[in-house]
Amino acid sequence: MTQPPAPEHCTTMAEVRAGVDSVDREMVALLGLRFGYMRAAARIKPERAMVRDEARKAQVVDNVTLHAAMEGFPPKIAAVLWDQLVEASIAYELDAFDSRA
């Protein structure tokens, strides 16, 4: 499969859509890897109460908003998306922790 052109080189909606689809596939693969780390965390943490860590959540969101700004991605949107991602990750990790027994 050929790579779609960079956004600034797109001249048709077909190219834009191909680019979006390509990025979405990459994002799903990266999210799968991220959730693999959530499974590892559930395996490593000795206590269920350790799954939710509000200080770490704030650190993750802060890191993402900083990197988003550097990449030209609106930090406010990144903060909302990652807040939801971290909450979903916590729920997933809790399920993984509970299935250990």
Contact criterion met (CB below 8 Å) for 16 and 26: no
Check: pTM over 0.85? Answer yes or no: yes
Domains of the chain (ranges; CATH) run 11-98 (1.20.59.10)
pLDDT tens readout for residues 56-98:
999 999 999 999 999 999 999 999 999 999 999 999 999 999 9
pLDDT tens readout for residues 12-52:
999 999 999 999 999 999 999 999 999 999 999 999 999 99
